[in-house]
Structure 1
Amino acid sequence: MKADAEEDVKAIEHRAVHLLGRREHSAAELKRKLRQKGFAAEPIDEVLELLAERGWQSDQRFTESYIRQRIENGYGPLKIRFDLQQKGIASSMIEELLAAQETDWVELARQRYVRRFGETPAADEKERARRLRHLYQRGFLPDQVRTAYHRIEQQEG
């Protein structure tokens, strides 16, 4: 029985290291993926603890990397926060690391708008609503969206 448990731990560790070699993962993501492969919860927890002790898996490092990548791809704080919560990251860590980014969310929303629609404001109200909805869906707050659009209108005038 003990040999089987050791083999399970080695198989779990091998699979987890393989996943981490491809990209950073949160502990919750790794656990979910390993459970889907049919491994038992207890040895998974043991392996995840071991990987964290070795520094091979870190929720903080995963979160920092994820936030940077999502900002570079033009996503707002609401979408980033939601996605990280879905990946099992604690709200306190999310808030701390989002604040540490010191991102100008309004400027990021403006850049996303310009990248998608160009520098010209919408021709009519229906088109304006469609464009603003795009920014809301990217996870920007209403104030950030309105201010970004106002800056675009000012550039035109």
Structure 2
Amino acid sequence: MKPYTTIEQRPDGGHYLPLQLQGVELGKLAALLRGRRLLACKVPKMQTARSAWQVILIFDPDMYLELTSSSTVAQGRDDFGTINVEVLAGAAVESMCEWENLQFPEVLVVVRAEIVRWQGGGLIVDSGIRLQFAHGRTFSAVSSDVPGALLLTMPEEAAPTSWQFPASEYSFVAIE
């Protein structure tokens, strides 16, 4: 996917940096994820959940999502991070690096998928994705203040106080 997001002009004069999606239409993403078990989360060995440039989510049966972030200059000299989601057909195509599995404490079945959205100064930015599971557990991957990096929040962790901006400035928009 592009390392930047094309800025869309809104009728009210503002700008929108949308989620980049490949391999499925946005209207079908929630149905594709709902009811699937999240089996594993992989990042390249030199990366961590606090700063990842590539994330592979593995669902049953044999469905993979690749998550990355794009960094786009939208206002003055400010970069804004957006989420890229690609549904991979078949086995995940991985780079030649070593991978590390981030562990989950229990079986996680997706009940809802959401876009993590930041809005301010006439700009709307689809900064991340959040998956909700039973019993209030969540997983999120949201652009951080490092261009191109994602901050992952694992199901057993509390939500962070800040991603690229303070967490209180974000909203969660259901993917229908």
* TM-score, normalising length: structure 1: 0.21
In terms of fraction of residues, the more helix-rich structure is: 1
Larger radius of gyration: 1
In terms of fraction of residues, the more strand-rich structure is: 2
Higher relative contact order (CA 8 A, sep 6+): 2
